[in-house]
Chain A
């Protein structure tokens, strides 16, 4: 247990490392590269347009949160409480956008409804961009998370409370407000938080659609080596996400899950024509924009490219890099998450909570910001020792910084999945095993680990998927290693309008991530 505590504390420090460099940079702004005197903070703030960007970011994330909660929440309700043709299949298909990176949805939607696109061409629509379409794209990307969370809460609720309320004379509205809604509140709060943070942190979709929001400008500033502006914008992002994160923790903390002795699912109702139309439309919207349109559009890109005489080549090297990096990163992050998850689930000592908070905090921060913070920390480290330059080169060139980046970004995801799995270990099994004379090691290897195996496998798949879809950390920290992943290739070829290559890379990426999602959905109950 002591070893686990030490590893947990170390991983917490690792996860918080970007904040060290970022804080230092905010306190001691780096000097202007041209030796010009540093303008004061107010001038800098107004010059960077941080206020407008901040307002845009907030507006976007509120819109996404509302959109995702309406779509995902309704689909969860329909899946759990209604009966209609195709319910099961559509329920699963509506979760598939989990596999589609936001930049793929954004670029394919933008291309398809734009001039010359699959839909925009025949209808001669103008090019779409901006916050409105970004809100739609990100809502589609977030809706499956809401559907999963709210659906699980609905599935856990027992019919008897609702029946008791009805027998006491409560109509449908009162049953909903007095009995169902309070049960869903934790799931709804968590859904709102996840989609708010997703939208604020998202980089891919807003970058493709050219939205004037914090993360996109932050990326530009980092790319252009404008470290002062980047630091300022980073501070602005922190100012939004950290209060949100704290609010979320408070909401989450007060929600007490209550076990139902003998849960019996409430009866399903057959919806009327209106509700049925709404349900099918939402399914079509999510499946259409989240999976179908990306596949069709990328197919169209490939067709167009071949028609122009471009040669189709399978991107073997990006495939190898992607699978390799994702596998290694999933392993590293999963192993690092094991100790804090074990501590959080089974050790009631004081160290568990701070480790958990630290782990979850960084997951709430945008990847661009984390990458920037890591660079800042590495710079700080290299400034403070004599062989600094060599150290910095070693950190970035060896790919170490890249994997630290993935760890910082996804440790929380691995942590949450593993913690749930570990919490499910039956303490009475351990007690029986010990009473039968089994050593701790024998209990661990023969009972606990086989019991945890599906949870561990599901966690590994989730992490693999997360790294596979990741863009900003890969873009900012992978370049130094000469890494050429599928995500990078889609991004790069799309910006260069090399449609054939972008389409092939995107389709390969989507195929891999869809198969991972389908595998994890089978393990849904374990995570």
Chain B
């Protein structure tokens, strides 16, 4: 298992004259769990289908488990020989087969019984082996789809928005449970999603895809924490969570802005665009900024305030009856690297 489960080199694709992917390159380490995060329609699914072997990319190269599977617009190894596990958004369980037959579908007959029984136990599906998929709950179907894909011990597991059909409140639990299963099997996994919570909470590394004129490109490839705190661009900042921006002039570890002098994440100088997350700013008493609305979010309150830099969202410890307040940026603000203004 020393070779990489997946390496993409300058992958390109277009549908007719519409470019979709523009030079995508990255490598997965064995056992690594990576998310591809992008807005709907940005080409994530095309990327996943190209890796799976369900479409042949127009250019670039894909290596899976140390073998070239597609290169320069030619498929060298087809989907059935690639050794990738696929988990679909709609699970795509075979409706006429039992749970056990679904899980055993990709296994040689001789190993089937033992491996299937083991996986069914690990997935907490004991007693359901003989059921049809239609007799299972959504969460159970999801686990069947996952262990079916894991059963042949694939080099790589591909997950296409597998949590989209699970309702949001209960999502944290099945998500974490699936991750435990995948980690227990030691498979490298690539999760394609538009949901930042899934991407940031569940994975080791997040690759943010943003659309460009010649197709989607990788805007940033790093740990969830770095993507959240130090996004490479406005697009990545917005993809990874609520935030707002303001311009200022940096000098060392502070920057002068219309909202006062703010601490910086790292020293800079000259004109900068700063990103602030709601939790990096607070609402205190004052009359500088109008409070437009307040919302309860569990751990406290957030308020939308009218400021000279636009409407911004900040945290507040409690609901206030006042119509105005003062926005104070407390956390170290992040100066977007690509947004150094020329003046």
Contact = CB atoms under 8 A, between A and B. Distances in A.
Interface of A: 158, 160-161, 163-171, 178-179, 182, 256, 258, 260-262, 267
Nearest to B145: A164
Contact of B152 (A163, A168, A179): A168
Interface string B67-98: 00000000000111110111011101111110
A169 B81 contact: yes
Nearest to B95: A258
Contacts of B97: 178
B244 interface: no
16 contacts: A158-B90, A160-B92, A163-B88, A164-B88, A164-B149, A166-B79, A166-B80, A167-B106, A167-B149, A168-B106, A170-B105, A178-B97, A261-B89, A261-B165, A262-B90, A267-B55
B143 interface: no
Given A164-B145, A169-B106, 20 more contacts: A158-B92, A160-B90, A160-B92, A161-B94, A164-B88, A164-B148, A164-B149, A166-B53, A167-B149, A168-B85, A168-B106, A168-B149, A168-B151, A178-B94, A178-B97, A179-B94, A182-B95, A258-B134, A261-B89, A267-B54
Interface majority SS (helix, strand, loop, mixed), chain B: loop
Contacts of A258: 95, 134
Of all A-B residue pairs in the complex, the 7 with the closest CB atoms, nearest first, are: A168-B106, A160-B92, A261-B90, A167-B86, A182-B96, A164-B92, A160-B88
B303 interface: no
Contacts of B62: none
Interface residues of B, number: 30
A256 B86 CA distance: 26
A498 to B, nearest CB: 56
Nearest to A161: B92
B40 to A, nearest CB: 13
Contacts of A163: 52, 54, 79, 86, 88, 92
Contact of A164 (B78, B86, B152): B86
A462 B323 CA distance: 68
A161 B90 CA distance: 9
Given A170-B80, A171-B80, A178-B105, A165 B90 contact: no
Contacts of B148: 164, 168
Interface in B99-136: 105-106, 134
B94 A165 contact: yes
Contacts of A169: 80-81, 106, 152
A166 B149 CA distance: 11
A525 to B, nearest CB: 22
A170 to B, nearest CB: 6
Contacts of A179: 94
B90 A167 contact: no
B89 A262 contact: yes
B80 A167 contact: yes
A169 B134 CA distance: 24
B52 A167 contact: yes
A360 B155 CA distance: 54
B204 to A, nearest CB: 23
A167 B79 contact: yes
B42 to A, nearest CB: 18
Nearest to B86: A167
Contact of B105 (A158, A160, A165, A261): A165
Contact of A168 (B53, B54, B90, B105): B105
Contacts of B79: 163, 166-167
A260 B95 CA distance: 11
Contacts of B105: 165, 168, 170, 178
Nearest to A258: B95
From B92, B148, B151, residue with most partner A Cβ within 10 Å: B92
A156 to B, nearest CB: 12
A7 B41 CA distance: 52
From B85, B95, B97, residue with most partner A Cβ within 10 Å: B95
Nearest to B79: A166
A179 B148 CA distance: 15
A480 B225 CA distance: 89
A298 B255 CA distance: 92
Contacts of B93: 161
Contacts of A256: 134
A164 B158 CA distance: 11
A166 B54 CA distance: 9
Nearest to B108: A169
Contacts of B53: 166-167
Nearest to B134: A258
Interface string B195-206: 000000000000
Interface in B39-71: 52-55
Contacts of B145: 164
Contacts of B88: 160, 163-164
From A158, A166, A179, residue with most partner B Cβ within 10 Å: A166
A507 to B, nearest CB: 45
Contacts of B94: 161, 164-165, 178-179, 182
Contacts of A170: 80, 105-106
Contacts of B152: 168-169
B70 to A, nearest CB: 15
A373 B96 CA distance: 42
A262 B85 CA distance: 20
Contacts of A167: 52-53, 79-80, 82, 84-86, 106, 149
A170 B78 CA distance: 11
A30 B93 CA distance: 60
A52 B147 CA distance: 58
Nearest to A165: B105
A168 B105 CA distance: 7
Contacts of B90: 158, 160, 260-262
Contacts of A161: 92-94
B303 to A, nearest CB: 35
Contacts of A166: 53, 78-80
B299 to A, nearest CB: 34
From A161, A167, A258, residue with most partner B Cβ within 10 Å: A167
Nearest to A259: B90
B137 to A, nearest CB: 15
A163 B92 CA distance: 9
Contacts of B149: 164, 167-168
A260 B89 CA distance: 11
Contacts of B151: 168
A226 B78 CA distance: 69
Contacts of B86: 163-164, 167
A170 B105 CA distance: 8
Contacts of A178: 94, 97, 105
Nearest to B106: A168
B145 to A, nearest CB: 8
Contacts of A158: 90, 92
Nearest to B55: A267
From A161, A169, A171, A262, residue with most partner B Cβ within 10 Å: A169
A273 to B, nearest CB: 22
Nearest to B158: A167
A179 B96 CA distance: 9
A192 to B, nearest CB: 19
A164 B92 CA distance: 7
Nearest to A170: B80
A262 B149 CA distance: 20
Contacts of A168: 80, 85, 105-106, 148-149, 151-152
A165 B106 CA distance: 8
Contacts of B84: 167
Nearest to A182: B96
A88 B149 CA distance: 37
A38 to B, nearest CB: 54
A182 B97 CA distance: 10
Contacts of B82: 167
